Amino acid sequence: MENLVSLRNAGKIYPMDRSSVAALSDVTLNIRRGEFMAVAGPSGSGKSTLLNLIGCLDRPTHGSICIENRDVTSLSAGRLAELRRRMIGFVFQAFNLIPVFTAFENVEYPLLLQGIPAVERRRRVWAALENVGLDERARHRPDLLSGGERQRVAIARAIVHRPAMVLADEATANLDSRNATQLIGLMRQLNRDLGVTFLFSTHDQRLLDGVDRVVWLTDGHISREDACHATVFTSRV
């Protein structure tokens, strides 16, 4: 498979009051198109920083990041925002849904930002909600949905604009075992059916058991990589 993302000696240093902290140091990593993989490690190891760099939410202090063979390191803020809207979906531990919007409206929001016409928006939103098994809950606000349902709305929002890659930061951390298992199965099914690349940051063993490759971070460095024999999870929702 071809590389979708390539990092070369990428690092991130955050200034402190009288010193600095290296959150990532000289990370070199390839993510292949269509992968279902995780970045793991203890708190403070650099997992979220790595996802923020790959997701173009932050810039590396040094090194380079290429997406589809294009160096994005020096792109303007506007170009980076355009790239995110077009190519990347995000799923967060805290769901990050807009509380006054229905499930339908939360999923529709990225398409509004892209200026997609209303008829096409509706078609894509219904398809995304059907993909995650929530078409019958489309008119409910987040406060009327369970934690598992809210995370499925977040996944529908992440895939509705047909991204090449979804970045999920501790996506199963707030879910019980049943919902976490179903969610992992759902994301695996979307990976296989739609060809979407999934990259997770996690310390959840349930998720680590379901991916094909794990990159381990320790103190901002890649300490090892493991190829995995993924557990098969049900995607029933």
pLDDT tens figures, 190-225: 999 989 999 999 988 888 988 999 999 999 999 999
* 8-state DSSP, 160: T
d(CA 181, CA 69): 34
By 3-state DSSP, what share of the chain in percent is helix, strand and coil, each rounded to 5? 35, 30, 35
Task: Judge whether 211 lies within some domain.
Answer: yes
d(CA 2, CA 31): 9
Task: Judge whether 233 lies within some domain.
Answer: no
What is the number of domains present in the chain? 1
For range 117-128, the mean pLDDT? 96
The CATH number that applies at residue 93 is 3.40.50.300
Task: Judge whether 154 lies within some domain.
Answer: yes
* Per-residue model confidence as pLDDT tens digits over 139-193: 999 999 999 999 999 999 999 999 999 999 988 887 888 888 888 898 899 999 9
Task: Judge whether 14 lies within some domain.
Answer: no
Domain, as residue range, for 169: 34-59+77-227
Amino acid at 200: F
* 8-state DSSP, 192: H
The answer to whether the CB of 104 falls within 8 A of the CB of 160 is: no
pTM for the model: 0.89
